[in-house]
Structure 1
């Protein structure tokens, strides 16, 4: 493996993060509950981690602001456009698999 400088590592991590966000924005067919059930995180988790990182760096950021960064639009607008009601099976799987820190 190539030795990376701290700056190179940060650059690559940022690029991978941007690509993940872009991918999730394009996959509006994948519901957050499906992400949670399969991967243990969702768009909301990602936005919370973003907000936590901003706040830890001394930047004040609200949940609404961080969600708009991740979703590419206000969260309520995204929900109205793309979110469907979770099925009984999805809800049951979520209850069984819900991470402790979510």
Structure 2
């Protein structure tokens, strides 16, 4: 079972649905013929920003080190040879 679903089943009071609460306030204000109040958006807490490329490079280096590989050898790839243009047979003109 999904861990989030299991968590919600065990502790349902911890989750607060602000979208539904705001929608209920708007409906109630319209029912009373009042202008709905402006919705307040709670400021999000700043999260940790990850440098994904740095994490990927570190993971690759760690995997190479565990396999006993050193730096990868980079070599020039040969340029492909040019193919001669195919000549198509001409069809005779019909009169």
Q: Give the TM-score, by structure 1 length.
A: 0.22
More contact order relative to length (CA 8 Å, sep ≥ 6) = 1
Structure with the largest fraction of helix: 1
